[in-house]
Structure 1
Amino acid sequence: MDTKRLKVTNRNQFEAMVSHMEKNPHIAKGQRFAETANISKTNYNVFWNRLTADLNSLGPPIRSIMEWQKVWSDYKLKIKRKLGYNKNETRATGGGNNRMVQLSSCEEAVSGLLSLDVAVVCLDWSRTQVHRPHQRINYPVKLNDVMKI
């Protein structure tokens, strides 16, 4: 049976990735944001080629461009989940220990870079509706939905 080996990104690779993304915030947010910032697809691909070479030079694992893009996407998702969990913990009632998850310095940097803490505040699942293009969704906007906490 052919088993797939798990590739674990090392800390130096994550730190280098975050460092590169801090220098290029429009690319860090994704290809669509890069396009709105007038970054051509060619420049976007050149950035990822250079980043892939830099990250692969920092040691195993060695990945392709698409695999590194997936790592970045998964990393952002992981941080969003942690922030969401922490947001829910602040709303929890009752006693007990504090169960909030601490973010690493790299995760804090990515959260600030992409304004993920603001995005998590705006997600209020109690108001989730199915949006159809021909419908207008009207719900009250609360001050906490817009402000960065």
Structure 2
Amino acid sequence: MLQFMEQHPGLARGRLLGPAGRARANELWEEMATVLNSCGNGPMRPAHKWQKVWQDWKCNIKKKYIRIKAHRSATGSGSPLTSELNPLEERLIFFLTPEGVQGDANLVEAGPPPREEEIDRGDEVEVTEVPDPVDDEADYGGVEAEAVTRRGQGRKLVASFVGVEEKRLDLERRKLEVDERKLQVEERKLELEERKLEVKVKKQKSFERIVQLLESGLELLEEHLQK
């Protein structure tokens, strides 16, 4: 895969733009999928899956390289990390260059001078040269320090966001507790109303029973008087 990308740096760096460039990129992804699937000792994937594999691998190695450089800078090249780059990963990093690994939008992912770089301008495709990578440790150290600072700011932002979310959840929990108490009060009121209704029903039945007894007594009295 890396060898194919080295042969087609425009595809690797996402510089095949415009209708003609996108068509060329699709052709190259299909060509790479055919090459990789024909190896016989690996998985079979469609072109879009191989594209995802390339993006994930490149991103993971970039992050690994940045961690290694940050560790060396923080420890003064002291204790090494247990996960160093293997030869294939070092080859990928050289292809991308430290500037590209750092992920600065103003810097170009460069590598060994490509055979040709396709840049789409409307319907015209022109060839341009890409400069050789320059490993300037002093400049990169500054970029690296800036990256560490950004990561620290990102952690603070995440912590702040988590704190706000915890407060919001706490308010929601308290609101639910208040609603539950209100519901309990309403249920008690309903129970009292039901009991009152039961008492009224019992009184009504008792009154009806008394009326029935009185009517029966009057009937008996009338019969007795008639005799």
Query: TM-score interval w.r.t. the shorter chain?
Result: 0.5 to 0.7
Structure 1 residue 126 corresponds to structure 2 residue 107: no
Provide, for residues 87-124 of structure 1, a one-character-per-residue CA deviation record: whole Å limited to 9, x for no partner.
Answer: 12112338973226322222222212222x22424352
Structure 1 residue 99 corresponds to structure 2 residue 74: no
In the superposition, relative to structure 1, how do residues 39 and 103 fare at CA in structure 2: closer, same or farther (>3 Å)?
farther
* Structure 1 residue runs without a partner (length 5+): 1-16, 131-149
* SS of match in other structure, 2:16: helix
CA distance in 2, matches of 1:102, 1:66: 30
1:1-149 matches, cutoff 5 A: 17-30=1-14, 33-35=15-17, 40-59=21-40, 60-93=42-75, 97-99=79-81, 101-115=83-97, 117-118=98-99, 119-120=101-102, 121=140, 122=143, 124-127=147-150
In the superposition, relative to structure 1, how do residues 82 and 39 fare at CA in structure 2: closer, same or farther (>3 Å)?
farther
Q: Which has the higher helix share?
A: 2
Moved over 6 A (4+): none
Bigger shift: residues 103-112 or 61-70: 103-112
Higher relative contact order, chain-length normalized (CA < 8 Å, sep 6+): 1
**Partner amino acid, structure 1, of 2:12:** A
**Partner amino acid, structure 2, of 1:126:** T
* Structure 2 residue runs without a partner (length 5+): 103-139, 155-227
Which residue of structure 2 lines up, in the alignment, with residue 12 of structure 1? none
- Contact 2:16–2:24 at 8 Å: present in 1 too? no
**Partner amino acid, structure 1, of 2:35:** D
In the superposition, relative to structure 1, how do residues 85 and 95 fare at CA in structure 2: closer, same or farther (>3 Å)?
closer
Backbone CA RMSD of aligned residues: 2.8
* SS of match in other structure, 2:44: coil
Which residue of structure 2 lines up, in the alignment, with residue 9 of structure 1? none
Count of aligned pairs between the two proteins: 110
CA distance in 2, matches of 1:97, 1:113: 27
Q: TM-score, normalised by structure 2?
A: 0.42
How far apart are 1:67 and its partner, in Å?
A: 0.7
- Contact 1:89–1:99 at 8 Å: present in 2 too? yes
Identical-residue share of aligned pairs (%): 32
- Contact 1:52–1:63 at 8 Å: present in 2 too? yes
